[in-house]
Amino acid sequence: MTPPENPDEILRAKLNLETSRIAWTELLRFFAAGSVIAVDDELDLIEVALRVSNNNKAQIEQWLAEHKVEKVSDAQAKTWLDTDAMLWAVVVHPWILVQHKGREAYH
C-alpha cells in the first residue's frame, strides 16, 4: 500500500494545472471589483497561491509589508491596459492572483 500524498503537494499540483496566461483586458471587471492581486515576479506564483489557499497569515502579511503581494493599483492596471499585457493568473477564491512574466510556460 502506498502512503498518502502530502496534501500541500496535491494542492500545488492542482494550482499549477489551473494556472494560465490571460490578457489583462479579460480581468478588468475583476480588477474593478477589487479582487485582483499582483504577485511580484521574484515570487513563485504557485507558492503564493498555496499560501493564500492555506491561509498562511504570517507569510501573507510579510509579503504585504514588503509590497511583494498587493492589490493591483490603478497605475499598474493602466500600464497593463496600455501595453495589452498578458499575465499569468490563478484563482484562489475570492482572489485572482496575477503575475507579469515574459516566460511562455510557468512550470
**Digits of tens for pLDDT over the chain (107 positions)?**
555 589 999 999 999 999 999 999 999 999 999 999 999 999 999 999 999 999 999 999 999 999 999 999 999 999 999 999 999 999 999 999 999 985 443 34
Q: Closest Cα to residue 43, out of 105, 103, 102, 101? A: 101
Structural domain boundaries, residue 72: 7-99
Per the domain annotation, does 1 fall within a domain?
Answer: no
Q: Does residue 80 fall inside a structural domain?
A: yes
Question: Is residue 14 one of the residues assigned to a domain?
Answer: yes
Query: Is 104 part of any domain?
Result: no
- In 8-74 the beta strands, taken as DSSP E runs, fall at 20-23, 36-39, 69-71
> Dihedrals φ, ψ of 38, to 5°?
-90, 135
Q: Which one, of 61, 39, 58, lies nearest residue 48 by Cα?
A: 39
Does 69 map to a domain? yes
Nearest-angstrom CA–CA distance, 33 and 10? 30
Residue 107, domain member (yes or no): no
| Count of the separate structural domains present in the chain | 1
Domain-embedded: residue 2: no
83 belongs to a structural domain: yes
User: Which of 25, 27, 26, 20 lies closest to 84, judged by CA?
Assistant: 25
Whole-model pTM? Answer: 0.88
Compute the distance between CA of residue 51 and CA of residue 8 in angstroms, rounded to an integer: 10
